[in-house]
Amino acid sequence: MAVGTAVGWREGLDAGDLSSEALVRASIDRIHSLDGHLRAILSMDEGHSLQLARKADARLRAGERSPVLGLPIVLKDNLHWSGQQVSCGSRILNGFLAPYDATVVGRLISAGAVPVAKANMDEFAMGSSGEYSAFGPARNPWDTALVPGGSSSGSVVAVAAGYTPLALGSDTGGSVRLPASFCNVTALRPTYGVLSRYGLTAMASSLDQVGPIAASAADIALAFGVMAGRDPMDSTSTDLPGSERLASLHPGKLKGLRIGLPAEYFGSGLDPGVRSVLETALEVFSAQGAEIREVSLPHTRYAIDAYYLLCTSEVSSNLSRFDGIRYGHRARAGSLPEMIAETRDEGLGSEVKRRILLGTFCLSKGYYDAFYLKALKARTLITRDFEQVFETVDLLATPVSPGVAFPFGAKTDDPMAMYLADAFTVTAPLAGMPCLSMPAGFTAGLPTGIQLIGPAFSDVMLLETAHAFQSLTRHHLEMPPLSA
């Protein structure tokens, strides 16, 4: 069966031309034929997925209609799907089974979506390339000598390679948008709180959000609408205004749309090929009557520092729960302190250890004011930049990353170089603003994305704007050359 879109398969399922069982089988077959090479998938439960598909078919036959009913989906391996492995890409949780469903996963399954696999990822979602998975990296389907981007590497590859039309990742500082840009798919990071974090393994709780991934904004809208909204299990969750528009997304109006280009994102560090792709993409907006103007977000220069101080501080606290007592791996060792130390030494990878150490340092007495507290102040200034700029423009358009996908090993010896790949993706999360990455074109044969950032709770408008762009362009329809 040919690769399909969520919207296309939705119509086929509703018309009775397709069955969920056939679509889920096609997804499973495609994974078997391609994933030996692409390595996007960590675990599957084919029998259970096929059973869920047959249930969806029965609901369809009974006349039920819902945006995701019968559609296959891949889940990042830090999201809890009851009874299935949730390794978070780490040895310390290898083989650990989720005791319950994450709220977003439960809502999708209740609406009839069918999870078919758990996806590879950087360990505990720390990374920008996918190379920090304890189980070996996923590969970029456009060129398997290159990284797919991270940390939601496997989820993005699953969509890019056509395993499933939908996937879920998580985005703390860019983890759905960066790989989406490297692999030519669309990914949304919602306003903080719109998707429940219950059952998403915590990395940095004040920044973590679940992010839907698909070929297009219209496909994303189907899954997003089913998941969005307040959840009593996550006190930071909240309802999304306009969510009723997601079940069938219409292109937003581009005429008169005020788009800001922040000067700080278009400096000399930007790859010239990426810059020229963006310029061409922006002409699509201006040709439709959008007003494009330069703006400034002056505190952007503090974003990487603030993000990596706050993120590592929260990581050091959140990951203290992996102690060999409550979850996963336990080292064989004498005393209790020795057991805890050895469990963490054996179970955690070097990037995770680096962040725990950095974060512990930032939070320690005597350094707290100079690092953690100062980073919080920078976060406030960055948030104010956004609030001020959104008084004059409706949304911002920026690059997603300074460059395109890079070769394996290019940045693993230099953590700073890896962190700098996130220069354009960490600012919006610090401010809690929604943002998305969508295919903008190709440079030297490799895809690159454009990022749209909107004010808090403008998620639906962002998707409608992306849909308008995708109705006028074909970049998102380009598929990588793949052979089994």
What's the rounded Cα separation, in Å, for the pair 446 and 273?
10
Q: Which of 49, 151, 155, 170 is catalytic?
A: 151
**DSSP-derived pairing of the beta strands 395-399 and 114-119:** unpaired
Minimum CB distance to ligand GLN, residue 354 (Å): 11
Residue 311: CB minimum distance to ligand GLN, A: 5
CB of 6 to ligand GLN, least distance (A): 23
- Return phi, psi of residue 276, to 5°: -75, -35
What's the rounded Cα separation, in Å, for the pair 165 and 158? Answer: 8
Q: Is 151 a catalytic residue?
A: yes
- With binding defined as CB under 6 A, does residue 179 bind ligand GLN? no
Closer residue to ligand GLN (CB): 125 or 157: 125
Residue 201, interface with ligand GLN (CB under 6 A)? no
Distance from C-alpha of 294 to C-alpha of 70, rounded to nearest angstrom: 44
Closest residue to ligand GLN, based on beta-carbon distance: 175
Longest dimension (CA), the chain: 71
Shortest distance in whole angstroms from residue 275 CB to ligand GLN: 22
Pairing of strands 114-119, 435-443: unpaired
Nearer to ligand GLN, 27 or 175 (CB): 175
Q: How far are the Cα atoms of 115, 297, 484 from residue 35, in angstroms, in the given order?
A: 17, 42, 9
x-or-dash pattern for ligand GLN, window 133-172, by CB under 6 A? ------------------x------------------xxx
Considering only residues 127, 149, 252, 359, which one is a binding residue for ligand GLN as defined by CB under 6 A? 127
Catalytic residue among 20, 129, 175, 196: 175
User: Which one from 19, 49, 76, 458 is the annotated catalytic residue?
Assistant: 76
Angle between helices 374-389 and 303-318 (to 10 degrees): 130
Q: How far is the CB of 201 from ligand GLN (least distance, A)?
A: 11
Task: Count the Cβ atoms, other than its own, within 10 Å of residue 413.
Answer: 8
Q: Does 359 bind ligand GLN (CB under 6 A)?
A: no
Q: Cis before residue 335, ω within 30 degrees of 0?
A: no
- Minimum distance from CB of 126 to ligand GLN (Å)? 5
Binders of ligand GLN among residues 388 to 407 (CB under 6 A) are none
Looking at 259, 311, 382, 463, which residue binds ligand GLN (CB under 6 A)?
A: 311
**According to DSSP H, which parts of 191-302 are helical?**
217-227, 272-287
Q: Which of 35, 101, 264, 422 binds ligand GLN (CB under 6 A)?
A: 422
The yes-or-no answer on residue 458 being catalytic is no
Distance CA 61, CA 19 (A): 10
Burial 459-477 (b: 16+ CB within 10 A, else e): bbbbbbbbbbbbeebebbe
Residue 131 CA from chain centroid, whole number: 16
175 catalytic, yes or no?
yes
By CB under 6 A, name the one of 173, 324, 328, 359 that touches ligand GLN: 173
Is there binding between residue 451 and ligand GLN (CB under 6 A)?
no
Query: Do the Cβ atoms of 464 and 123 come closer than 8 Å?
Result: no
Decide if residue 125 touches ligand GLN (CB under 6 A): yes
Note whether 120 binds ligand GLN by CB under 6 A.
Answer: no
Which residues of this chain interact with ligand GLN, rule CB under 6 A?
125-128, 151, 170-175, 203, 311, 422
Residues belonging to the active site: 76, 151, 175
